[in-house]
Amino acid sequence: MSSTDATPPSDDLGPYALLRNRNLVRYLSGRFIATAGHQMFTMALGWEIYERTQSAFALGLVGLTLILPMYALTLPAGHFADNHSRKRIVTLTVAIVALMNLAFCVISLKQAPIVLTYLLLLVVSGARTFMGAAMASFMPQLVERQHFSKAVTWNGGLFQLSSIVGPSLAGLIIGWAEKINLLSKPGQLLSKENNWAASGTSLFSILEIRSNLCSVVLMLTLY
């Protein structure tokens, strides 16, 4: 058998061959950025709630309010994504999340009642459930069937990486900002009481808005 016959097709040369697919790279990049931004924001929000309430129960309610819409809306969201424009769903839900993040900034800076934070989290979680269903349904259209398992592996791996990178970056930024007293300088993101946690939540709310906008721009370039 000749060496030519023994060489596998170029499409099967290693796990990195899929990175030649520009649409897939845009898709994976968008999901990575959006997930990392959301993880950074969630960490800062939990930090603020615990600082304000000193209650482990109040902190645990953050997870509950994030998971309830996911359980309730996952199936309807998948059905909706199958029957409507996925790009429009992503664009609309990113806009909703961005508006909610601006509301989080106001709540943090004004030290509004914590219950408003939980209500906004319910809205954000619901929007992200629809966003996730729409984004997930993109992948089968981006790769050939024989490469789908590799694409799923890349997607899962990058999701896990972003779930580590997001909180890690948030912790580094918070620690660095605290060390140089950045969040307590006049003119920075301050609450009336110079509340560190509120200032941090406001900062990461803005960062999540930017990450979501970057994500949707990448997603809209598909096709």
pLDDT in tens, 74-114: 999 999 988 988 888 888 888 888 888 888 878 877 888 88
Return mean pLDDT, the chain.
Answer: 76
Residue 57, pLDDT score: 93
Q: Where are the alpha helices (DSSP H) in 84-113?
A: 86-110
- φ and ψ at residue 137, rounded to 5 degrees: -75, -5
Using pLDDT thresholds of 50, 70 and 90, give the confidence band for residue 183.
Answer: very low
Burial class (CB in 10 A: 0-12, 13-18, 19+), 38: buried
Q: Could you tell me the pLDDT band of residue 189, with boundaries at 50, 70 and 90?
A: very low
The ranges assigned to domains in the chain are: 21-220
Q: Which helix (H) or strand (E) segment is 27 a member of?
A: helix 22-53
Instruction: Please report the beta strands in the chain, taking only residues with DSSP state E, as ranges in sequence order.
Output: none
Provide the token pair at 99.
Answer: 């508006």
Higher pLDDT, residue 58 or 17: 58
With bands split at pLDDT 50, 70 and 90, how would you rate the model's confidence at 69? very high
What is the rounded average pLDDT of the residues 150-174?
86
Model confidence at 180, in pLDDT bands (50, 70, 90)? low
pLDDT at 196 over 90: no
14: helix, strand or coil: coil
Among 153-167, 174-188, 209-223, top mean pLDDT goes to 153-167
Q: Is the dihedral of CA 114, 119, 120, 124 positive or negative?
A: positive
Least confident range of 6-10, 95-99, 141-145:
6-10
Cβ–Cβ under 8 Å, residues 46 and 62: yes
User: Per-residue pLDDT tens for 15-39?
Assistant: 678 888 888 888 888 788 878 888 8
* Alpha-carbon span 58 to 187, nearest angstrom: 30
* Whether residue 3 has pLDDT greater than 80: no
Q: Which fold has domain 21-220?
A: Growth Hormone; Chain: A; (1.20.1250)
